[in-house]
Amino acid sequence: MAEKAVAWAPSLVLNPIDMADLFEHAAERELQQQAPLAERLRPQSLDEVVGQRKLLGPEGPLRVLIERDQLPSIILWGPPGSGKTTLARVIAHHTRSKFQALSAVLSGVKDLREVVEAAKADFKFSRKRTIVFIDEIHRFNKAQQDALLPHLEAGTITLIGATTENPSFEVIGPLLSRARVFVLEALSEEDLKGLLQRGIQSMGVPVETEAESLLVEYAAGDARRLLNTYEIAANLAGKSGRVDVKTVEQAAQRKTLLYDKSGEEHYNLISAFIKSMRNSDPDAAVYYLARMYEAGEDPLFLARRMVIFASEDVGLADPQAIQVAIAAMQSYDFVGRPEGWIPLSHCAVYLALAPKDNSSYMAYQNAKAEIEKSGPLPTPLHLRNAPTKLMKELGYHKGYRYAHDDPKAAQEMDCLPEKLRGRKFFRKKGEA
């Protein structure tokens, strides 16, 4: 028995390398347990991904490419919490290629160059291609994006770019032409409810029905926000051990509005605001005004847009409208935040309810189109001033009729250049 004990004893002793691995694995497990709930529940396979059925359903194009491990360079475009980074990680688990991740916020051309050199070596020695995931690729400037092009062209790397911004504006054309854009949608209410159930199973803190609806509403399609808010609410839950409406309100504090004053949503909202006023819809106009104002948009930008709208879209139908708009702009300048929204809302409702007439706006557009077509035609001689004797001898001012003294002048005297005689740029609303 002693011999057996001696024989087995060495196998119970761990060498320093084994001990290091053991501690490293233990540290990783502890770190994972302490990670935020959203990170702990992050899907590891396509079947676990919530939402995006058009792309990841049984016949979805992105699912097919991932399962076949034939992914081309792609751009994943979607709002925060729609699953862009999650998809990239699922691809990393699924692909036989080497997977490298970079953040456009923290990385530069030097980091990219190192990844490319490693990719070349991997392909040379193991025939493995490399997929490079660049989070927030819109943060790369033009030069940094340009640096990707030769390596995509040569096939050294396959790109997965993730962005919350419209690639048409934020990604250079040559890069877009080499990558396929997949649009991810904000998660539906049903998707969020299903995800919340996973969170509840993980943390073991139930949620009351009304609180569940509030969590989903606050999330606004963002999976990460949903799970983060629920996790805080679950930790705040008192003796009842349940998450109620009050707890959710405490956890959420105030929903951060999705708005970037230099991004696509800025243009989406101002477009919706103007079109709502044009459509004589005061409810929608006030809604979009509040969306922008509460998110921190420059109120004077909103006021300027209403001044333009008053002249462009209301115009001759209510000449008072532009005075109301200018008064609203001056009022905000005088009042400021927080009550400055009051004159802005007053103006938005007034403009939405006002009759509409864009004939003066269209007249200018028609005249501009004619100028681009026919060029700078000579000003008629009879409309030119003649302050000198020579000008009078050249025919300047000859034949001009002063309309105040000659009532027929308005009908009988032509004012357009000769080649445009009879041309109409202005037409009253409803006039053929």
Tell me the pLDDT tens digit for each residue of 339-369: 899 999 999 999 999 999 999 999 999 999 9
The pLDDT value recorded for residue 180 is 95
Average of per-residue pLDDT across 88-106 = 91
Lowest-confidence segment of 306-310, 317-321, 410-414 by average pLDDT? 410-414
Structural domain range at position 278 = 264-353
145 lies in a domain?
A: yes
Is the separation of the CB atoms in 203 and 60 below 8 Å? no
384 lies in a domain?
A: no
Same domain, 58 and 176: yes
pLDDT category at 34 given cuts 50, 70, 90 is: confident
Is the separation of the CB atoms in 174 and 40 below 8 Å? no
Average pLDDT, the chain: 88
Share of the chain above pLDDT 70, in %: 90
Checking if the pLDDT of 220 tops 80, the result is yes
pLDDT digit string, tens, across residues 41-96: 999 899 999 999 999 999 999 999 999 999 999 999 998 999 999 999 999 988 88
Same domain, 119 and 63: yes
Same domain, 81 and 119: yes
**How many domains does the structure of the chain reveal?**
4
Instruction: Please list the alpha-helical segments (H only) found in 253-380.
Output: 264-278, 282-294, 299-309, 320-335, 341-353, 359-374
Domain containing 344 — which CATH number? 1.20.272.10
380 lies in a domain?
A: no
The pLDDT value recorded for residue 75 is 96
DSSP single-letter state for residue 310 = I
The pLDDT value recorded for residue 173 is 93
Length of the chain: 432
- For residue 354, which amino acid is it? A
Q: Report the 10 Å Cβ neighbour count for 286.
A: 19
Longest dimension (CA), the chain: 134
Same domain, 56 and 127: yes
The pLDDT value recorded for residue 87 is 93
Here the tokens at position 387 are 């302050």
Query: Pairing relation of β-strands 74-77 and 180-183?
Result: parallel
Same domain, 148 and 60: yes
pLDDT category at 257 given cuts 50, 70, 90 is: low
pLDDT digit string, tens, across residues 123-145: 888 888 999 999 999 999 999 99
The pLDDT value recorded for residue 18 is 54
Same domain, 163 and 219: no
DSSP annotation string for 129-149: -EEEEEETGGGS-HHHHHTTH
pLDDT category at 16 given cuts 50, 70, 90 is: low
On the 0-12 / 13-18 / 19+ scale of CB atoms within 10 A, 391 is middle
The pLDDT value recorded for residue 254 is 61
Share of the chain above pLDDT 90, in %: 63
Does the predicted model carry a pTM greater than 0.85?
no
